[in-house]
Structure 1
């Protein structure tokens, strides 16, 4: 059997490779970078502050599935708040129970509002006051588009219903663990699913799964083209070499995928899909618990940032004793004022902004902790390509071509959902290429015979 090409060695690519390997299907993983892991990377500076590039929050269920449960610490607390008009409200209940927001939300339930855009969805979900003062400004900040231009599908990003949130919050108090609340849409959340953090940083999370497939990963091997004939994947070209494949699995952002594919126009509409660029500014302070909770949303349009995260509130080991780290999320566009601003000015801008909210923090400020810019962060669900997005969610339109992962699916998916969606999608790939079902009699023997010998692997490498 010709190998299946997996493009990218982040969590989605590595998960796909291991799942295909378990099914006895030959696989090659092509990674453009010098190391595996994608956005799941981390480092610790000389002063003892730890930084992650990617999600800080991982569930114990995902860690166990990846084989990293044994190296993870339990996170005991996690919470969110909203800063509005000089006051902080816990999220979601502090807002929903406020006399200012509760009556409009209740009244909205009785209205027959037609939901066409994200603005309609937020109004119907939260009531006009809360939608206009909190939900819509935040959505526009991290998408860079007006709520009237966004699809109501953007609501998929938000957490469970109020009663479910009440149950999960109560479970967190009883168990003394940070129970996951709205972090997975693919699997049920319960009191037994809680946040953990791997010893040594996020990069350690993928080590067990990476070790399982390391022999099929080719680093510094960017895929130049995915070759298609008669609307079917035939080969990939890597560093000038054409390799015949039975299927191709891409983790590339969907607006880049049309540039990789040659021999079809099926993917051309995806070239117009937009991702929101982001800047993450880290500042170091004396003290701990400077924010009302781990994450604080800031719908104030006058501020450059829309979210603040003080991770050491939940994971104190990420900063030295008596100190803390606050991360500022800034939505921007490549080449705009914030994107081109130097790191020192960005840090000062964020410090000035947070000190408008909490003046005492200026005396607690130690130093900047670094700036990360990424041109591809959140997918932007614009109404003008919503129909095409929904079609793409079901199929790429090319036989043997699959797109997975957060960027590859153009989805608001967190790490755990990426994992489970990838596992399920590999069943489709196995069906397409004619894999061996694991419950078939003598499946293990058949899979062993299908695997290439050591000599064949050496020749292929």
Structure 2
């Protein structure tokens, strides 16, 4: 099939573009870097706006909230050209609600004699590791694993920890000495020093949390100014055509366009439906993502939680995490008020997914007041409710080997997958950025060889 002959004249006159599917942070970073390298990028976004998961909303009452939780470092803000609109975050911490008490994470839990003794016993007599449950027991001890780590992993993933790959735990590991060092640096500098938010780049006292004024979506504005003309909104990629195991074209809104390569940010289990001409990606159809609901409730007062984020391993609760973003970033809510975000793991079409906004607000408020009864009197009302069917990749042990293979290569020449959904990886924003840049070097090398 001669795709080039069917393509519009503009694509025939110029070198075949690199097609990028999705205009989130990964897609925009990829386009910007390819253009910098002298390669033409064509970004196709099915929605009406750019940003993807890096989207922010601000309502008429002055509340700002993101689509999920985002952690931005000063290094990332600077790399994206958004340092001048980003404010320094003074503090950030996590706590765990357990047995009617709140423990700081990780040191409050480590100070518990029960958990400390269990952790020491696990270090002295480590067991075999076949799944995530084993990994947690070896790393934290049986007591902390059973009370905290395993319930949270299961709520977050929707799968038994015994069915999850050990890689789930390995993504969470951080050295005690490093944590102590960076926590001390945070106290001394008065800045929320990053700890465990980047595995691609080193962390130090000079790398700290910031937040763009107006929301996380503003991080993308400088990039948009550079490559906005390369973005086609409401442009759905319907097919990626492969001939002789190489990408040759894409079909967008019914129109076929010859391309030199294709870069996808779409959830990987959708790739087999998009790619035509090979069955090499069929196994990806079994990969699972965890749907999530983010419920925002508004309250009078500030600093209602023990710290910015509260983990809730109690499985009788509908949520497993509560975040008070104004605890660390007070400008995200009107003066004297705050907003709590509740994370509910679910499945599309289940009881939680189909609940009304009013019912979701009620069950979250009731659950919160089982932990902190006095907060009911401070409740103002619900904020926005956000739902996504692709919140987090689920590392099931049943396809772990295939996941690792896919992390190295898609198996189709000229086809690349980037971003958290595209890589099927537990990535925060900064690692998405650096990993995307590394992948673009591979794309540039491939296109150069094909020209």
* Partner in structure 2 of residue 360 of structure 1: 374
Q: How does 1:107-122 map to 2 (within 5 A)?
A: 107-122=121-136
* Partner in structure 2 of residue 78 of structure 1: 92
CA shift digits 1:36-73 (9 cap, x unpaired): 11121112212211111143320000000000011100
Q: Does 1:201 align with 2:215?
A: yes
Deviates more, 1:363-372 or 1:292-301: 363-372
Q: Does 1:60 align with 2:74?
A: yes
CA displacement at 1:298 relative to structure 2: 0.3
Unaligned runs of 5+ in 1: 437-449, 451-461
Are the aligned partners of 1:56 and 1:202 in contact in 2 as well (CA < 8 Å)? yes
* Partner in structure 1 of residue 232 of structure 2: 218
CA shift digits 1:88-116 (9 cap, x unpaired): 00000111121110011011111241111
Q: How does 1:75-154 map to 2 (within 5 A)?
A: 75-154=89-168
CA displacement at 1:33 relative to structure 2: 1.1
Are the aligned partners of 2:71 and 2:428 in contact in 1 as well (CA < 8 Å)? no
CA displacement at 1:305 relative to structure 2: 0.5
Deviates more, 1:427-436 or 1:141-150: 427-436
SS state of the match for residue 233, structure 1? strand
Are the aligned partners of 1:178 and 1:195 in contact in 2 as well (CA < 8 Å)? yes
Q: Does 1:337 align with 2:351?
A: yes
Q: Does 1:378 align with 2:392?
A: yes
Unaligned runs of 5+ in 2: 1-14
Moved over 3 A (4+): none
CA distance in 1, matches of 2:68, 2:229: 26
* Partner in structure 1 of residue 202 of structure 2: 188
SS state of the match for residue 381, structure 2? strand
CA shift digits 1:314-370 (9 cap, x unpaired): 000011111110011000111111111111011000101110111101101111112
Are the aligned partners of 2:64 and 2:214 in contact in 1 as well (CA < 8 Å)? no
What is the CA RMSD across the aligned residues, in angstroms? Answer: 1.2
Q: How does 1:220-369 map to 2 (within 5 A)?
A: 220-369=234-383
Q: Does 1:426 align with 2:440?
A: yes
CA distance in 2, matches of 1:201, 1:228: 39
CA distance in 2, matches of 1:157, 1:365: 36
CA distance in 1, matches of 2:351, 2:256: 43
CA distance in 2, matches of 1:160, 1:25: 38
SS state of the match for residue 385, structure 2? strand
Deviates more, 1:142-151 or 1:103-112: 103-112
Number of aligned residue pairs: give it. 437
- Which one of the candidate residues 157, 160, 179 is aligned to 2:171? 157
Q: Report the TM-score when normalising by structure 1.
A: 0.93
Deviates more, 1:216-225 or 1:73-82: 216-225
Q: Report the TM-score when normalising by structure 2.
A: 0.95
